[in-house]
Structure 1
Amino acid sequence: MTTSSTPTARNEVATRLIDGSIRRSHNSLLEIDWGAPQDPDLFYMPPEMITLYGTPLWEKMTHRERVELSRQEVANTFSRAVWFENTLNQGLLRAMLYQDPTSPHVHYALTELGDETRHMVMFGKMVSAIGAEPYRLSRVQAMAVQAMPLFYRGLMLYLAALCGEEVIDDVQRKFLNHPELQPIVAQTMRIHIAEEARHIRFAREGVRRHVRTAPWWSRTFCATANGAAGFILDKMFMDKRVYERCGLPVREAVRQAKANEFSQARRRAAFADFHEFLEDNNLLNLVSRTLWRRYGFLA
């Protein structure tokens, strides 16, 4: 009898994921009408997802000002998603140097690389289509991000993928059919959700497989380091430059956003399933729990 940790079982999972990719893959360049007119009264993300939703500043804003804030926050999220996909692709490519290029496991990893590359194009096209300027990394941030793939080995590779995918996927699923959402954003979410489901399955299987055999120091490192994802996700959801571009008082906007209990509750709800997965696989410790809590993902 095979288990998910055996090469046979691993390749069986990969084969099923490849079959799913054949049946249901997307090309946003063909499927999304990037030049379609956008309704100036519709939000670029559901208002409930906006960092200032329900705050005193929010109550003072006009509807169009709220829409503009949603536009800038979407541009920030998608801009940062591009560099995350970049680091994940680098990690997958490095891992393949040591793997069998004839195996279905490697073939699915290459399939995922293709998906992620198209997602990077899709996110870039989205920022351009909504008329926003991308949110670029600073030189220091870019250097830190460039170093991240160096740590994406074995268990950490699959865990890092989940840290970047699980929370965003949960948020998109919950708000995909929001009645006030711009159609162009909804279509982008549909494509991302459909393909990300396979990526999450692949990464979860990878974590379960590696956590059984990884040495104690690797498990300890992963259980500690995943808390840094709370900081990264916090920046994907909130960047002070968003408030600058919207003409809001930056310090006060940041203060209210950080204290916004509605926003904190949304983060905790989005993290709940992934939190359970981490606990089930003994991949949380005092350090990571403290960091996830510090950025609002744990109560």
Structure 2
Amino acid sequence: MSVTAQTGQRDGTDRRAGADDGREAIARRLITGSVKRSYEPIVDLDWDSAPVPGRYFLPPGALSLVGTELWNQMTVEQRIELSRQEMANILSVGIWFENLLNRTLLARLMSADPAAAATHYALTEMGDECRHMVMFGRAIEWSGARPYRMVLADRIVMTLLPHVLRGSLLWVAALIGEEIFDALQREMLEDPELQPLISRLMQVHVAEEARHIGFARDGIMRRKPIRGRWETFVAGHGHALAGVMLRRLFTNPAMYRRAGLDGRATARSARANPHFQDAQVRGFASLAAFLEEAGLMSRVARYGWRRGGFLR
């Protein structure tokens, strides 16, 4: 082997070692942050309180129909009921995504170093996600709504995904499931028309998701200088359909039917609503910029997010 080849090999090894050392330091810092600022939703939220009459379960400005002709024809009571159903739908989707993330991380931990700080933080994050799923389920129950179930096709996809999410694609998927929701929640949680318990739920979720988002972003950026062409191709193209899927989930016809509306017609109206599209774009803006910086926003992926209404 030539001196140049040997040097290149040593440089690659050094880069990997440096990335691993940095990852461990980030994991230890996040574990410390988790000890100092974590919540127990079962006791930190006032589940014995009743919903406040006249308050929304999602802010009216964040609802998918605001600004449409149908919205203008609805009474305040109908709008509040729509907010209850949209909240139950979004929290149900959140449960599905956090379930997916936990199952994927568990699969990876079968071959991970059990003594590594990164492994310990992954376990810590999974504990957070389990509490979030309980919190979301309790909030749906508290509101008087019912959870929304995945259709068969979605269940099949969610069952298969943990087997294919690896490397950078895993962290891209984690960010899609966390960062878009996080951005929208930050806009909502201080709204004076929002139910106090839902506002508190969002505060808890935003505080803990900030650590999860930081860990996922760090994982992507540390792999950027060492990932191969195939990993870059898969991670850059693998999220192409995510925008279309999220738009469909956010405008679930079932939630409109439960609110007393025509499910399919109302879903079409919501998807064409400029106000709803603006909210989608705002929610995705930070993640879109990050994926561009990381070199993981391919032309195909950009087209998919545009079709879903998350990019102009």
Any idea what the Cα deviations from partners look like across 1:174-229, whole Å, max 9, x if unmatched? 11100100011111101100100000000000111123222211211111111222
Change (3 A) 1:172 1:4: farther
Quote the sequence identity (%): 41
Q: Deviations over 1:96-144 (max 9, x none)?
A: 1222111111111110010001111111111111011110012222111
Larger Rg, first or second structure (1 or 2): 2
2:85 to 62, 72, 85: 72
Kindly provide the amino acid, as one letter, of the partner of residue 133 in structure 1: R
The residue type paired with residue 130 of structure 1 is: S
Alignment-mate amino acid for residue 116 of structure 2:
S
1:163 equivalenced with 2:173 (yes/no): no
Code of the residue aligned with 1:154 in structure 2: it is G
Give the partner amino acid of 1:293. R
User: SS at 2:194's partner residue?
Assistant: coil
User: Match of 1:184?
Assistant: 197
Q: Aligned-pair RMSD on alpha carbons?
A: 1.5
Equivalent residues in 2 for 1:187-266, closer than 5 Å: 187-266=200-279
Contact 1:29–1:122 (Cα < 8 Å) also in 2: yes
Q: Determine the C-alpha separation between the residues in 2 that align with 1:76 and 1:219.
A: 33
Q: Would the aligned equivalents of 1:69 and 1:243 in 2 still touch at CA under 8 Å?
A: yes
1:15-39, Cα deviation, whole Å (9 max, x unpaired): 1000100000001001111120112
Q: Which residue is equivalent to 1:272?
A: 285
**Equivalent residues in 2 for 1:88-107, closer than 5 Å:** 88-107=101-120
Q: Please, which moves more after superposition, 209-218 or 84-93?
A: 209-218
Query: Which residue number corresponds to residue 27 of structure 1?
Result: 40
Secondary structure of 1:212's match? coil
Structure-1 residue corresponding to 2:6 = none
The runs of 5 or more residues in structure 1 that have no matched partner are none
Counterpart CA distance in 1 for 2:220 and 2:175 is 9
Q: Secondary structure at the match of 2:225?
A: helix
220 and 165 in structure 1: CA distance in 2 versus 1, 3 angstrom threshold: same
Normalised TM-score (structure 2): 0.92
Contact map agreement 1:5 1:209 (CA 8 A) in 2: no
Q: How does 1:288-299 map to 2 (within 5 A)?
A: 288-299=301-312
Residue type matched to 2:311 in 1?
L
Provide structure 2 residue ranges, at least 5 long, that are not aligned to the other structure. Answer: 1-13
Equivalent residue number for residue 285 of structure 1: 298
Whether the aligned pair in 1 keeps the contact of 2:243 and 2:310 (CA below 8 Å) is yes
Q: CA deviation at 1:2?
A: 8.2
Amino acid at match of 1:197: A
CA contact (8 A) 2:16 2:226 kept: no
Cα distance, 1:232 vs. partner?
A: 3.2
Using the size of structure 1 for normalisation, the TM-score is 0.96
Residue type at the aligned position of 1:48 = G
